[in-house]
Amino acid sequence: MQHNIYIYMIIMAAVTFAIRALPMTLIRKEIKSRFIRSFLFYVPYVTLAIMTFPAMIRVTDSPVAASIAFAVAVLLAWFGVSLFGVAVLACITVFVAEFLMMM
């Protein structure tokens, strides 16, 4: 069976365009519903979490070390540590946890 990659690219472009253009053309008034506004506010954060979490668990040698680092990162973020600090300390946590698991 012969596949034409250009058909796939055209379909992908049409779907991407529709996702971006339809809300802009169909919704012209300000959204007044508190529920919908709060839902739309949190969509980027949820999308980022959904894309990041599986990659974080799979990138380490041990899912246990990744889970420990995730817990440390959540606690650090909860207590207001900067994004850079959370990232650095989570990386150090993975390194130490994997080192201790190898011993």
At 6-63, the pLDDT tens digits run: 999 999 999 999 888 888 787 778 888 899 888 888 888 888 888 888 888 888 888 9
The pLDDT score that the predictor gives to residue 1 is 56
Q: Which long-range contacts (CB under 8 A, 24 or more apart) does 95-102 make?
A: 97/62, 97/64, 97/65, 97/68, 97/69, 98/60, 98/61, 98/62, 98/65, 101/62, 101/64, 101/65
DSSP 3-state of 3: coil
Query: Which tokens hold the place of 84?
Result: 């850079």
